[in-house]
Amino acid sequence: MLYVSTRGHADRKHFCEILLEGLAPDGGLYLPERYPQVDSATLAKWRGLPYADLAFEILSLYIDDIPAADLRAICRKTYTEKVFGTTEIVPLKKLEDGLCLEALSNGPTLAFKDMAMQLLGNLFEYELARRGEELNILGATSGDTGSAAEYAMRGKKGVRVFMTSPHGRMSPFQQAQMFSLQDANIHNIAIEGVFDDCQDIVKAVSNDLDFKRKYRIGTVNSINWARLVAQVVYYFAGYFQATSPLPEGEGAKKVSFTVPSGNFGNICAGHVARSMGLPIDKLVLATNENDVLDEFFRTGVYRVRAAADTHETSSPSMDISKASNFERFVFDLLGRDGPRVKSLFGEQLSAQGKFDLSADPAFKHARERYGFISGKSTHADRIATIRDTHERFKATIDTHTADGLKIARQHVQPGVPMIVLETALPIKFAASIVEALGHEPERPPQFEGIEKLPKRVKVMPADVKAIKEFIAAECA
Q: Are 450 and 173 in contact (CB under 8 A)?
A: yes
pTM for the full predicted model: 0.92
Split into its structural domains, the chain has a count of 1
Q: Would you say residue 128 lies in a domain?
A: no
Query: What is the end-to-end Cα distance of the chain in Å, rounded?
Result: 37
Domain at 236, CATH number: 3.40.50.1100
Q: Is 113 a catalytic residue?
A: yes
Q: Would you say residue 12 lies in a domain?
A: no
Q: Would you say residue 27 lies in a domain?
A: no
Q: Would you say residue 203 lies in a domain?
A: no
Ramachandran angles phi, psi of 268, nearest 5°: -65, -35
**Please, which residues have CB within 8 angstroms of residue 388's CB and are 6 or more apart in sequence?**
none
**From residue 141, how far is each of 36, 129, 146, 237 by CA, in Å?**
31, 27, 5, 26
What pLDDT, on the 0 to 100 scale, is given for residue 221? Answer: 77
Name the pairing type of β-strands 301-303 and 159-166: unpaired
**Please, which residues have CB within 8 angstroms of residue 400's CB and are 6 or more apart in sequence?**
260, 288, 315, 317, 318, 423, 424, 429
Q: Are 441 and 426 in contact (CB under 8 A)?
A: yes
Q: Would you say residue 408 lies in a domain?
A: yes
Q: Would you say residue 323 lies in a domain?
A: yes
What pLDDT, on the 0 to 100 scale, is given for residue 151? Answer: 94
DSSP state, residue 184:
T
Q: Are 77 and 386 in contact (CB under 8 A)?
A: no
The catalytically annotated residue of 13, 113, 254, 342 is 113
What pLDDT, on the 0 to 100 scale, is given for residue 250? Answer: 60
Q: Would you say residue 236 lies in a domain?
A: yes
Determine the structural domain holding residue 345 and report its residue range: 92-107+225-442
Ramachandran angles phi, psi of 242, nearest 5°: -90, -10
With CA atoms as reference, report the closest residue to 246 among 41, 475, 11: 41
Q: How many CB atoms lie within 10 A of CB 416?
A: 17
Q: Would you say residue 29 lies in a domain?
A: no
pLDDT in tens, the chain (476 residues): 999 999 999 899 999 999 988 889 999 999 999 999 999 999 999 999 999 999 999 999 999 999 999 999 999 999 999 999 999 999 999 999 999 999 999 999 999 999 999 999 999 999 999 999 999 999 999 878 899 999 999 988 889 999 999 999 988 999 999 999 999 999 999 999 998 899 899 989 988 999 999 999 988 878 899 999 999 999 999 999 999 876 665 666 999 999 999 999 999 999 999 999 999 999 999 999 999 999 999 999 999 998 889 999 999 889 999 898 999 999 999 999 999 999 999 999 999 999 999 999 999 889 899 999 999 999 999 999 999 999 999 999 999 999 999 999 999 999 999 999 999 999 999 999 999 999 999 998 988 999 999 999 999 999 999 999 999 999 98
What pLDDT, on the 0 to 100 scale, is given for residue 244? Answer: 81
